[in-house]
Amino acid sequence: MTHFRSTAPRGATLHPETGLLSYSPEALAALQAKLSGEVTQPGYPGYNDDRMVFMHTYQAYPQLIVHAGCETDVIAALDFAREQGLKVTARSGGHSTAGFSSGDQIVIDTAGMDHVLVDPAARTARVGAGTQFRKLNRVLDHYRLHVPGGGCETVAVAGYMQGGGFGFTSRLFGMNCDNVLSFRMVTPDGEIRHCDAAENADLYWAVRGGTGNQFGILTEITYRLYPLADVWAFGLRFALSDAAGIATAARVMALLQAEYAVTGPAKMGQQALLMFLPTEAEPEAQLPVLLVRGLYDGTEAECEAALGPLLAHVTDRAAQVEIWRAGRYLEVNEALLQTVHPPGLDMPNVSMNTKPLVDGRIIAASHPAERWQELIAHFLTAPDLTCFIAAEYYGGRINEPAPGAMAYCHRDASLDLFSWAFWTFDATQQAATDWLDGFARIAGAMGNGHRYQNYPRRGNAGFLHDYFGANAARLVEVKRRHDPQMLLDYEQSIPLALPGEESA
């Protein structure tokens, strides 16, 4: 092994005096001797691909990436980081919308820890931190068991759960973090901790919603599972091609909040999207629409009855009903995603050269159609056809726990309203950013002052309040107890003291 002068990329954290990678070849060799997994550093073949995360908007150049295959690999990597005075970033699936899944010092990647061990009699599953939902859903489908999961199949459970974890079945079964019976974590001191309501209860409280890369490296989650038979999927399209269509869509969005969120049937989970999609009549065009999609845990007749108020706004069922079918959750979830995701892509209309930004707000108070029409009007000014606005509806089991029952505090919300802005060329980046900022102003005026922590945006100085509310003070205490040296430290790390307070 060698130090790298010329091959160390711009942006890498190098030794401040020598300009070299700030660990010696001997130290790296000693680390490698302890690992079952592989390491990557600048100059290695494949480094550039290995450092990339889902959000290409953000480019980080880690000094070292450790691919952990087991808990002792994580311990060795944390010990190395402490000895070398380097900060650590945890990466399971790499899907942080603010690029927080990577950093410029040491990345510990747990993607290889992707086991799924199901106990069908107990209805529990032990799931490795790096397990993607494409694997978890398929394993659980074999047993006809379920835990709420997200839309994107390449998201891994660790980061998803630590931010809450919303899915189409969350109104029926709760957020993903609500269904965590226990987990295993390696804390910054290199100790393996089993965490549940009785053992390491402070971590058990904090990790469920406290976001990733805060208190340690998660290695395994034990989930509570639920039987789930065939469900009914639906997708309704409302064109935004004229004033009448826009007014109808605004009434539908007001109706979704008023009757299908907090007080609506828990067996129904739904999402609304303002986006550009082709039609059968114009397959090459991208036309603005409101798409309402979701699933119902029941029969077709029950779903039809539950959707009655929404279907009253459908004037041409053949043209407007995109999905109307039964199936197992695995099949239905994929079908719902295919209504907006072209084959092989994770986002609508998006190429690998496209860069996104994300922002969002939690909405609690009900809003009239006029306010939703204002949001639609802003959507129609999108600078790129890839931009979209989405609403994920809360209520049901999501809102049952008390806000302080765990770190995830958004228990009085009716929906999470968020947006993705995209650009492909540098010349259009500012227009996309300005459009997203305009969305944030409208959503902020509608919101309750909080944001869903699984959709972070950089530059948010108020993230402690926005994500955690009154739980922030307790999270600071847990951080101080388990990571007093701030080994896990990034832009939105929980600090050792609340703003304005002296560090203890």
53 and 174 in a single domain? The answer is no
Look at residues 397, 420, 446 and tell me which one is the last residue of a structural domain.
446
CATH value at residue 35 = 3.30.43.10
Return the pLDDT at 14.
52
> 264-295: buried (b, 16+ CB within 10 Å) or exposed (e) per residue?
bbbbbbbbbbbbbbeeeeeeeeebbbbbbbbb
- In a domain? residue 50: yes
pTM: 0.93
- In a domain? residue 452: no
200 and 265 in a single domain? The answer is no
Domain count, the chain: 3
Return the pLDDT at 96.
84
Return the pLDDT at 502.
61
260 and 400 in a single domain? The answer is yes
Q: Quick one: tokens of 457?
A: 């945006």
**Mean pLDDT of residues grouped by 10 in the chain (504 residues)?**
34 47 90 95 89 84 96 98 96 86 93 98 99 97 96 92 98 99 99 99 99 97 97 97 98 97 94 91 86 96 96 95 93 82 43 83 98 99 96 98 98 98 93 98 98 96 98 99 97 95 60
78 and 123 in a single domain? The answer is no
279 and 401 in a single domain? The answer is yes
Look at residues 202, 227, 252 and tell me which one is the last residue of a structural domain.
227
Return the pLDDT at 56.
79
- In a domain? residue 496: no
Look at residues 446, 468, 492 and tell me which one is the last residue of a structural domain.
446
Q: What kind and span of H or E run contains 34? A: helix 25-34
CATH value at residue 173 = 3.30.465.10
Return the pLDDT at 55.
76
- In a domain? residue 189: yes
C-alpha dihedral (287, 289, 292, 294), degrees to nearest 10: 20
Q: What is the DSSP letter of 9?
A: P
- In a domain? residue 462: no
C-beta separation of 332 from 303 below 8 A: no
Choose among 316, 296, 315: nearest CA to 306. 296
| Full DSSP string of 323-375 | EEEEE-HHHHHHHHHHTTS-TT-SSTT--TT-EEEEEEEEE-S---HHHHHHH
178 and 320 in a single domain? The answer is no
CATH value at residue 269 = 3.40.462.20
57 and 127 in a single domain? The answer is no
- In a domain? residue 4: no
Round to whole Å and give the CA distance between 15 and 8: 11
- In a domain? residue 244: yes
CA gyration radius, the chain: 23
What is the extent of the structural domain holding 216? 117-227
Round to whole Å and give the CA distance between 134 and 152: 8
Round to whole Å and give the CA distance between 4 and 482: 34
- In a domain? residue 156: yes
Return the pLDDT at 288.
97
Would you say the C-alpha torsion 74, 80, 81, 83 has a positive or negative sign? positive
156 and 272 in a single domain? The answer is no
C-beta separation of 245 from 163 below 8 A: no
- φ/ψ (deg, to 5) at 126: -95, 120
Q: Quick one: tokens of 448?
A: 């309750």
436 and 330 in a single domain? The answer is yes
N-terminal to C-terminal alpha carbon distance within the chain? 41
51 and 79 in a single domain? The answer is yes
Strand ranges for 201-351 from DSSP E: 217-224, 226-227, 231-239, 268-277, 287-296, 321-327
92 and 134 in a single domain? The answer is no
121 and 161 in a single domain? The answer is yes
